[in-house]
Structure 1
Amino acid sequence: MSVTASQVHGAVQTLTQSSDTLFLLLGAIMVFLMHAGFAFLEVGTVRQKNQVNALVKILADFGISAIAYFFIGYWVAYGANFFADAQTLSQGNGYELVKFFFLLTFAAAIPAIVSGGIAERARFYPILIATFFTVGLVYPVFEGIIWNGNFGIQAWFEAQFGVGFHDFAGSVVVHGVGGWIALVAVIFLGMRKGRIRAGKHTNFVPSNIPFLALGAWILCVGWFGFNVMSAQTLEGISGLVAMNSLMAMAGGIVASLIAGKNDPGFIHNGPLAGLVAICAGSDLMHPIGALITGAIAGVLFVYLFTFLQNKTKIDDVLGVWPLHGVCGAWGGVAAGIFGQSGFGGLGGVSLTVQILGTMLGVSIAVIGALIVYGVINALFGLRLSEEDEFNGADLAIHRISSTNDD
């Protein structure tokens, strides 16, 4: 029995499609697992009376995010919807469905980031309402602009400067937007009770360093799915992305170790700062540029978080604005610096465009968050009562504590 060229071509095409689908599915699973990292990082940082709430909040946020992104967000960003029969949706081995899953895990990172900033004093259901609108509307607007060319902004960048805004895995699109949304939410909520005593700032001690460390480790491992598998196909996979992620992580560890003076909270957030910053330019930079990018991010996190907690009334519990908002913005700019061929990068990137695109992302995040959280705060209120905050979100919201004291 002879095999025709068309049959061979069809078999190769099917194998390629199925391989790409599996590749992206594994990436989606790795990023989905990162949400456990967000949860345990928060569980280990908050006081014991708020641990259950941290766990429930992250999982509930993911469920709401899936609904919001399925029905609204994915359509806003990519103009696609799922109102077709299952046979049509599953064409091409269901690659487009797995792509949705992968991009959903990115979108759901927005409320997971916010969760760490607003911990210990936020009401449960108003925050879930905010999750629906930030994931369904605010985040997809900027996602669609950068990753789908919506509104012609990328085309304008290319016409004016020769290149578009480059954000390979979401330093700005995901982390920057999430961090700046979180800042607005944190400001609306105000400081936790007891943070200022006798006119001086008091910092609450993390409840469980092993859980905090576990969360950081889970995030670090999952990040290689976040970055490397942003290629979305086997053909596009790049060892450079993996190497740059590794070096940026190392830079963040060493910088936070030194700047944070051996503090375990800083040391375990340092690699995350480096990984946030490298997302945008991980496919462009030389590994030494990635190392420098990660180190700067580690220092930025330590000093900004220390300043916020000790000198301002911005009570960002996990430091998500410095970690994701500022380090994400730095990553967008860093791609325009260390992605240049003069710094050993692959080129094809403009520092001017990277600055403008980063500013656009921050603006959309802040304006969108002001509208969403402002309206919800006016209608329902975002903050727990003083009594509920004193008793802890675990008992006030979920009627159970993280430990059995009987």
Structure 2
Amino acid sequence: MGLLLFAAATVAVLALSYLFHGDSSAVDPTGASYTTPTGNSTLDGIAEIANKGFMGSNYVWVMICGFMVFFFQAGFAMVETGFTRAKNAAHTMTMNFMVFLVGAIGYFLIGFALQMGGSGGAATLGSGGSALNALLKIPGLGGILGYKGFGLVGTYDAGIYALFFFQMVFMDTTVTIPTGAMAERVKYSAIIITSFFISMFLYPLFANWVWGGGWLSTLGKTFGIGHGVVDFAGSAVVHTMGGMIALAGAIVIGPRIAKFKKDGTARAFPGHDIPMAIIGTIILFFCWFAFNAGSTLNASDFRLAVVATNTMIAGAIGGLVAMFYMWVKFGKPDPSMTANGALAGLVAITAPCAFVDGMASLLIGTIAGLLVCFAVPFIENKFKIDDPVGAISVHGINGIWGVIAVGLFADGTYGDGLNGVAGGVRGLFYGDASQLGAQLIAVLVLIVWGFGVSYLFFRFLDKVWGLRVKPEDELEGLDIPEMGVLAYPSNMLTRSELDYDSPENAHIKQLNRFHYYEPSQQTKLNKEEVKIDQAVPVEVISAPSTTMVSDIKLTKIDIITRQSRFEALKEAMAEIGITGMTVTQVLGCGIQKGKTEYYRGAETEMNLLPKVQVEIVVAKVPVRLVIETAKRVLYTGNIGDGKIFVYGVENVIKVRTGEEGYDALQNEA
């Protein structure tokens, strides 16, 4: 944010300097002149200078909003990665970065011209449209695609460049959405091909029909159907399109392995990092203010304050409604569905945000929060479509709701002259049923074009290239097979670590002897103990003894407990004379008897949770003392306190000295 403010201040200073000292020697390669008139000022000259200042503020507004919308990629990357499993984290995160790279180039080369090549540029940015303004039309219907501006060749028009940049980051949002629905089983290479297809062809054509002067936008002027299709910031063009592509991709690629049981019910595959997903949602929420308010393309259009406020209201109520719905239905305020609810509210308000008031925004967001809670399990259980992050429900279903909401709640206070139709945009509840008709036509076209063409494309791609990774790769996780790296490699030992005891690493040992860990007070015994009659006992399981090689009994004690209790356990063992132990990080699983947990409305099965396994072999320290000490330290009365296993040990050999049995354990236990 500080960088953005600095950039804005810098541009403002340069603009003021230009206005008051405008003696520029820069020459536009197209021959256009940007120098101020010399000699005595005239009214025309003053008007020209004022107009340049007006356009300059619009440039700054549009570019800064574009920068913020670009940061959508970070939000989507974090949401999708957090909602998927750890074994696919690097693959999912990198996909979200890669689609921006591919999309930007595809849109630059071809997509922008197809979308905006017949628009003549943006009036608020002062673009004369010298490189655009060429629209292919069907007689009696209207425009279907632009055909000028490929690669921005032949223009240095700043207005066109600003328009390109802003539209490009919107397009990349659409390209990102399908990755969530196809996550954890899609080939990285297939997503590259898909991103080119969307950015160069699928998205630009529909965007042309709505935002580029195409036939859907002229339904009002040509056929008297409202103001034509109205989509202020992209519920239709960006989000429903992305949702339709996601739906087609999820159907063609199929569900993840073992997602559905034999009886057809869905298994829950909980996301590995919900905090990451929540942070991603917050980033998206913040960027959405630029996404919607920036669509004015005009810093002087004070409606942007209404747009930003409506955006905030709809997103907030969408998240709250989803949270309370899940809380009432399943007993917990599912954070993943809370995030989806907020995003659903934001998607739904994106089209009507400039045409409705605050109370209408509240209603639109409320319905969006409920819709996503109904749609996620319905799509999963009824149609057996596996959507790991809820992209279809959030963007597809609620994108459609946002498009329809314009036709219902637009109150006529904004949009006079939009798409060549006089008067403000009015919906059904404000006297213009035809506007709802135009919006429903857009929904129908989105289903046919967005879903239908995407479905055919994915079928073709699956046949000639392959969409899905090999089953063994999917089971292992896609980080290594697809990306060659792990997102979380910290548990893997490298060769240098395995050779730690070699003589050449002596200097490392010397350094490490100064590093020690001082346990905090939080590692001490848990003060919040549960009454004994309510407690869940620590289990002690004994294995049959084996024949001993000496008269002194050797016993192995395995303690498995939560990682947070390890330091307290270690200190307690030291106090009773246990000086040697083996410690391993492990994963444990289990379900509390009689209690069902849910993730996004689906019943969870066994969850693998991080545990610590402590192995101790004792000879002189009484076994019962070790057990009672461990129980005292680990006990809280809650699920997960741990288990203690007791085994007889046949023999112990100390490798360094060759000592066996009791002697091998001296100075250790």
Q: Is 1:155 matched up with 2:218?
A: yes
Instruction: Choose from 274, 284, 291 the match for 1:226.
Output: 291
User: Conserved in 2, the CA contact under 8 Å of 1:65 and 1:107?
Assistant: yes
User: Which residue of 2 is the match for residue 240 of structure 1?
Assistant: 306
How far residue 235 of structure 1 moved from its aligned partner, in angstroms, is 2.5
- Segments of structure 1 that go 5 or more residues without pairing to the other structure are none
Partner of 2:326 in structure 1?
A: 260
Shift of 1:156: 3.2
**Which residue number in structure 1 is paired with residue 111 of structure 2?**
73
Q: CA deviation at 1:41?
A: 0.2
In structure 1, what is the equivalent of residue 272 of structure 2?
207
**Higher fraction of strand:** 2
Which region of structure 1 is more displaced relative to structure 2, 23-32 or 197-206? 197-206
Amino acid at match of 1:245: T
Paired letter, 2:487: S
For 1:16-31, list aligned pairs within 5 A: 16-31=54-69
Equivalent residue for 2:467, pick from 371, 382, 401: 382
Q: 1:288 aligns with which of 359, 381, 395?
A: 359
8 A Cα contact 2:219 2:438, kept in partner: no
Deviation at 1:5, TM superposition (A): 2.5
The Cα RMSD (Å) is 1.9
Within-5 A mapping of 1:251-400: 251-261=317-327, 262-340=333-411, 347-349=425-427, 350-400=435-485
The answer as to whether partners of 2:219 and 2:226 remain within 8 angstroms in 1 is: no
Distance change in 2, residues 1:84/1:145 (3 Å): closer
Q: What is the Cα deviation at residue 68 of structure 1?
A: 1.1
Residue 110 of structure 1, aligned match among 166, 174, 182 = 174
Question: Which of 247, 253, 256 is the matching residue for 1:183?
Answer: 247
The 1:25–1:391 alpha-carbon spacing in structure 2 relative to 1, beyond 3 Å, is: same
15 and 176 in structure 1: CA distance in 2 versus 1, 3 angstrom threshold: same
Matches of 2:72 and 2:102, distance apart in 1: 17
Confirm whether residue 168 of structure 1 aligns to residue 232 of structure 2: yes
Matched residue SS, 1:161: coil
- Find the aligned partners of 2:249 and 2:218 in 1 and give their Cα distance: 32
The number of residues matched between the two structures is 399
Give yes or no for contact 2:190–2:466 (8 Å, CA) kept in 1: yes
Residue 313 of structure 1 aligns with an amino acid whose one-letter code is K
1:36 alignment counterpart: 74
Provide the rounded CA distance (Å) in 2 between the counterparts of 1:202 and 1:382: 23
Give the counterpart letter for 2:149 in structure 1: N
The 10-residue stretch of structure 1 (210-219 or 249-258) with the greater mean CA deviation from structure 2? 249-258
SS of match in other structure, 1:154: coil
User: Match for 1:368: what amino acid?
Assistant: V
One-letter amino acid of the structure 2 residue matched with residue 227 of structure 1: N
Look up the equivalent residue of 2:481 and give its one-letter code.
Answer: A
CA–CA separation in structure 1 for the residues paired with 2:164 and 2:374: 37
- Residue identity opposite 2:219 in structure 1: W
Q: Distance in 2 between matches of 1:320 and 1:314?
A: 12
Question: AA paired with 1:155?
Answer: T
> What is the letter of the counterpart of residue 372 of structure 2?
F
* CA-to-aligned-CA distance 1:234-280 (integer Å, 9 cap, x gap): 13342111111111112201211122221000111111100100011
Larger radius of gyration: 2
1:156–1:166 distance in 2 versus 1, CA, 3 Å: closer
Q: Distance in 2 between matches of 1:83 and 1:328?
A: 30
User: Relative contact order (C-alpha < 8 Å, sep 6+): which is higher?
Assistant: 1
Query: Cα distance 1:83–1:54, how it changes in 2: closer, same or farther (>3 A)?
Result: closer
Task: Give the equivalent residue in structure 2 for 1:119.
Answer: 183
> 2:217 is paired with a residue of what secondary structure?
helix
Partner secondary structure for residue 71 of structure 2: helix
Change over 3 Å in CA distance of 1:84–1:378 after alignment to 2: closer
CA distance in 1, matches of 2:242, 2:185: 19
CA distance in 1, matches of 2:269, 2:219: 48
Higher helix share: 1
d(CA) in 1 for partners of 2:198 and 2:404?
24
Q: Measured at CA, do residues 83 and 295 of structure 1 come closer, stay the same or move farther in structure 2, by a change above 3 Å?
A: closer
Change (3 A) 1:23 1:308: same
Segments of 5+ residues of structure 2 without an aligned counterpart are 1-38, 118-147, 328-332, 414-423, 428-434, 493-669
Structure 2 Cα separation of the partners of residues 35 and 4 of structure 1: 48
